[in-house]
Structure 1
């Protein structure tokens, strides 16, 4: 049940959840299009500070971001961000984007403001002009951004928060506090911490941020994205950690996936080998009494039918939406992926080493992108965005930050072996570039994109050649695959 007095939405949960993919792939146009069909549209909350800053520097075509910022509850903050990043008409070709403050443990007012406003704007635009439901997806791994990001999304009345790539045990309490504009924080993992009792945190003080306390906010529902019934049971055990539901993600889903249980074994193609231990016991999840959705290989009517038969509330679908017209992927890259997939020429590899986060990561193999070894080798190693940096305790006791995708000599100086850097791709820059927002430099250098997709492409069957988000929804919910009813409210 929703927490008493939390102001949780009363709408029934959706049958279909649109995945919150990549950086800006699940942008507000896509989430809005899905929400208009009556299903749950989801924006990706990853690196929205960079996305907002760079779109403003491109001149904000259509004026959408400026329209959203005009409604932010602190005009002074919105004006500061526009003054810093908005470039009328856009930057000239070859002019680099202005950097944004990097994530860190030390409080930074400019960073908190940009993060909150960016999340507010994305959710505001996704919800604008309709009463459909909109969610936001975060990675638990990016802990230092979470409090300000969630607060910004809540200021825009986000309906759901979805969180994966970690254990979101502190997020229910974060949502409770932020709904009342109370100061809130979460723990941040610091590597090589000498004192096990020392706790590092990232937080936000809403009243300090805004300069005033608005009326209490509606608390969004939390869906934990997990790949294990054991983790689901752990989170459900206490009201302090319990979400309002689960998304159960299989290894077929795009982006990050959980590593196999036990010792890592690689197959002939160099991909992790999954076995019976990695299968989720759906009966045990159902016994927890919370709604759940299945993700990864369920983007067809048959996939939905199987999910409903297994007791699920519905399915989460990602890759089908990643290739639709409203997707935030760069248009040329999206069309190329579609053409290759329809021709049976698209391979998606689950790379165990590519992500600096340490999770296996799906990479669509497309020449000219970071999947190409020559392109990867030619890219200068640098870490100028830093969303996947790990805080660590330096020998002198101070906090430092490192990333396996940074220059090898720097990583070694920070106490890690050179082997940690082998095969690592810069996901931050690569995924931003996939959305058409890659950094460019005055010497002509442009960041190459990195493309991710799920490994099951059967969803393309039955879809038009150049299809819309509404086409995906209609296809998945088509009565030929399942007889649909109205799901009962979360937790009831």
Structure 2
């Protein structure tokens, strides 16, 4: 349990200065824990926008506590949370002094769902608070949090936790986040918020709404929260126009992401056509119409293999405020990827053609194409995929569905095939699916230990991974976030 402490959380009204210059570079919110607080802090300290990944934060916090919080970072920032009783309860439930035995599996946590338990909500709020607080610690730079619209169940408590820590930006893609601006407005007022959840096979009688009351977390007297700026991640001018005109609140800008970016990609427009290697074929219709986006009058940033000074200049010439960069930061020293994985990838980047990224149309149970780095010893190898026992025990990509009796169930195309079919899914939908939840946790050293061995990593990256060597000093096998910033801006290194 955290040592006794004096209350040190002070709430006050905060107003965004709308004349503040937009960042030139936004660091992408990659994967589970890859864009962790150390990376976001390093980028924010340079004056650019550092971003933490908001995906599966409750799981990340619970497993970090089971590793013992060896540096005391979590204990330090959680002492500032407005509900010490909640902190103590979670600390007691998950913290293992000195860390769990290396041969012991991680303790399970509640799974997210349409009606999440109080224990899950507490963990979601606290984990986002901790991640953003650590990213903002020790500097006055700006920090954002990245969420996926397709992962809906944890969204509301995650946003509140981030806002309690003073997050400056919320970035969201992988869907149409039209109602998120209104959610941010409600939470900033300290009022209950609701979010419509996509439910397969739902009838009109099922409203699919999940509701969340922030008031139990705001302390006494209650906090007045910052309403962060909202940036929607899009791939077309049509979607930008829809969000700008039909969202239920203010949209502050766009990140225009092309198919060369890592992680989940938007599917090609029109019928899905696959190449000879089984990858989606993108064509002229998938090139965003930048003049139409520029005419909306909102700032926008370009993303997807743009981590070059000339690409930054081209983006600015097209009217963009700057660029979003993911892959170059994903493999720097401050990212959450395991050091050995980063070292191997950086070394391979020195050899032309040694690194390849496959845009897999089936890997993700969300149905979105997902970029997978082809690397030995990871789930990019079919033999490892076939050897792995299918299991869905984390549940972040589960889909809610309505049973014939009207109750809600959950299924995932990556779970055991017989389970998925029994829940109304089709065998066809299970083919080629990978367990992103467990694979991405393994990337950052928090993978589960199974009876047959540890979970394998599953690395996503953009096509730009082949060019990481540009950041590596002669003879070195690593580089820093600040090196990427300097290279992009043409700023000489300081002595």
Same fold (TM over 0.5): yes
| One of 434, 453, 477 as aligned partner of 2:489 | 477
Does the 8 A contact of 1:7 with 1:217 survive in 2? no
- Secondary structure at the residue paired with 1:181? coil
Q: Give 1:339-378 correspondences, 5 Å limit.
A: 339-344=347-352, 345-378=354-387
Residues 410-433 of structure 1: CA distance to partner in whole angstroms, max 9, x if unpaired? 011011111110000000000010
CA-CA distance at 1:275 after TM superposition:
0.4
- Secondary structure at the residue paired with 2:103? coil
Q: 1:66 — aligned with what?
A: 75
Does the 8 A contact of 2:190 with 2:215 survive in 1? yes
What is the distance in 1 between the residues matched to 2:427 and 2:74?
42
Residues 140-181 of structure 1: CA distance to partner in whole angstroms, max 9, x if unpaired? 111111000000000000000000101111111111111121
| One of 57, 61, 66 as aligned partner of 1:48 | 57
Deviates more, 1:34-43 or 1:415-424: 415-424
Change beyond 3 A, Cα 1:270–1:445 = same
Residues 290-318 of structure 1: CA distance to partner in whole angstroms, max 9, x if unpaired? 00000001111011011001110000000
Change beyond 3 A, Cα 1:107–1:375 = closer
Q: 2:468 — aligned with what?
A: 460
Q: Give 1:15-26 correspondences, 5 Å limit.
A: 15-26=24-35
Residues 17-41 of structure 1: CA distance to partner in whole angstroms, max 9, x if unpaired? 0000000000000000000000000
CA-CA distance at 1:461 after TM superposition:
5.1
Change beyond 3 A, Cα 1:158–1:211 = closer
- Secondary structure at the residue paired with 1:457? helix
Does the 8 A contact of 1:207 with 1:213 survive in 2? no
Q: 2:295 — aligned with what?
A: 287
Q: Which has the higher contact order (CA 8 A, sep 6+)?
A: 1
Q: 2:135 — aligned with what?
A: 126
Does the 8 A contact of 1:235 with 1:242 survive in 2? no
Residues 356-399 of structure 1: CA distance to partner in whole angstroms, max 9, x if unpaired? 01000000011111110000100100000000000000111110
Does the 8 A contact of 1:115 with 1:152 survive in 2? yes
Does the 8 A contact of 2:179 with 2:247 survive in 1? no
Q: Give 1:29-428 correspondences, 5 Å limit.
A: 29-195=38-204, 198-210=206-218, 212=220, 214-238=222-246, 240-344=248-352, 345-428=354-437
Does the 8 A contact of 1:9 with 1:159 survive in 2? no
CA-CA distance at 1:194 after TM superposition:
2.1
Residues 227-283 of structure 1: CA distance to partner in whole angstroms, max 9, x if unpaired? 011000001114624410000000000000000011100011110000011110000
Deviates more, 1:237-246 or 1:77-86: 237-246
- Secondary structure at the residue paired with 1:462? helix
What is the distance in 2 between the residues matched to 1:212 and 1:169?
32
What is the distance in 2 between the residues matched to 1:129 and 1:367?
39
Does the 8 A contact of 1:30 with 1:469 survive in 2? yes
CA-CA distance at 1:479 after TM superposition:
6.3
Does the 8 A contact of 2:328 with 2:464 survive in 1? no
Q: Which runs of 4+ in 1 moved over 6 A?
A: none
CA-CA distance at 1:51 after TM superposition:
0.4
Does the 8 A contact of 1:354 with 1:360 survive in 2? yes
Q: 1:8 — aligned with what?
A: 16
Question: What's the TM-score once normalised by structure 2's chain length?
Answer: 0.93
| Count of aligned positions | 474
Does the 8 A contact of 1:41 with 1:134 survive in 2? yes
The unaligned stretches of length 5 or more in structure 2 are 1-12
Does the 8 A contact of 1:6 with 1:176 survive in 2? no
2:446 counterpart of 1:434: no
Change beyond 3 A, Cα 1:405–1:415 = same
The unaligned stretches of length 5 or more in structure 1 are 481-492
